[in-house]
Amino acid sequence: MFVNLSNFEDGLFDEFRRMQDEMGGLFGRGSWPAGIRAVSRGTYPPINIGSTPEQVHVYLFAAGLDPKSLDISIQQNLLTVAGERKAPVSEGADYYRKERYDGDFRRLITLPEDVDPDQVEAQYRDGVLQIHIRRQEASRPRQIEVR
Amino acid sequence: MAASKDVKTTESTGVQQPETDMALRPRVDIFEDAEGITLVADMPGVSREGLDLQVDKDSLTIEGEARIEMPEGMEALYADVRSTRYRRSFALSGELAVDQIDASLKDGVLSVHIPKRAEVKPRRVEVRVA
């Protein structure tokens, strides 16, 4: 049931790190413009975005969500995920640490332009909200045979 | 963030490549009342199978391995989260009854409660007037 994540750790992020190093070399440190809707790191919840030729996958790392409070909508290639993550305070207790996010959140995610907004699926499991969006048929890579 | 680096030698080229094996430090809320101490940690992606708790009278260590199904050959476009392991340790004090530790996990939220030993719970002192 659970896929071993060695692929996830070795291949996926190594490539991303290599991309970052290359970008850093080309554009210098922090000087290239971020997407206009990009938020600073540390915005809740953290997200990862991956793609295959058929789909784009978005993962939001938000433990303890009430899935009913989620409001997920998509307009063309702009995905909006809003919701509330409550971390209730225990009355009369002394708090030594209060690091967990408590409150409303909203993330706007710009997806690749060839996503099909009519084919979106979402599931919430073990604290990770997964959103899968299929890409449009016409833009998928096609093999060309040489006769 | 806790990090340990393993150095791996790849066989084909004989070149040593540092393989970062960084664990994420899960965010926690910790509070205490007259009964004991409660710790609540965010470990999204971790289910019971991936969770490991170690406790002795001096320390509590919470570790979790996040398992998220992902398609083969998926290409990363953006990543806030770059590890699937969570790890964090806490030093405990002597008045906690670690043998009565209680833990539960739901939707990636780990709750750990350790009561105080009975003899150390705060007691009201009656003052008798002579």
- How much is the pLDDT for A12? 58
Q: Are strands A128-135 and B16-22 parallel, antiparallel or unpaired?
A: unpaired
Q: Do B77 and A112 touch (CB under 8 A)?
A: yes
Task: Produce one character per residue of A71-92: b if its CB has 16 or more CB atoms within 10 Å, e if not.
Answer: ebebeebebebebebebeeeee
Is pTM beyond 0.80? Reply is: no
Per-residue pLDDT at B44: 97
- C-alpha to C-alpha distances, B103 to A45, A50, A75, A99, A144, nearest whole angstrom: 24, 33, 42, 19, 57
B96 and B36 in contact (C-beta within 8 Å)? yes
Residues 95 through 124 of chain A touching chain B, CB cutoff 8 Å? 95-101, 112, 124
pLDDT of the residue at A91: 85
pLDDT, tens only, B46-58: 999 999 999 988 9
Q: What is the mean pLDDT of residues B71-83?
A: 91
Q: Judged by CB atoms within 8 Å, which residues 9-48 of A form the interface with B?
A: 9, 12-13, 15-17, 41, 45-48
Q: List, for residues B107-117, the tens digit of each pLDDT value.
A: 999 999 999 98
**Is B126's Cβ below 8 Å from some Cβ in A?**
no
pLDDT at residue A11, as a whole number: 55
**Least confident range of A2-6, A103-107, B16-20, B64-68:** B16-20
Q: What is the mean pLDDT of residues B8-25?
A: 53
Q: Which pLDDT value is given to residue B3?
A: 39
Residue B15 pLDDT exceeds 50: no
For residues A144 and B122, the model is more confident at A144
**With 80 as the cut, is the pLDDT of residue B4 above it?**
no
How many angstroms separate the CA of residue A117 from the nearest CA in chain B? Answer: 19
Q: What is the 3-state secondary structure (H, E, C) of A49-115?
A: EEECCCEEEEEEECCCCCHHHCEEEEECCEEEEEEEECCCCCCCCEEEEECCCCEEEEEEEECCCCE
**Mean residue pLDDT across chain B:** 84
Residue type, B43: M
pLDDT in tens, chain A (147 residues): 444 444 444 555 666 666 666 555 554 444 445 566 666 667 899 999 999 999 999 999 999 999 999 999 999 999 999 999 999 888 888 999 999 999 999 999 999 999 999 999 999 999 999 999 999 987 667 778 888
What stretches of chain B show up as alpha helix (H) in DSSP? Answer: none
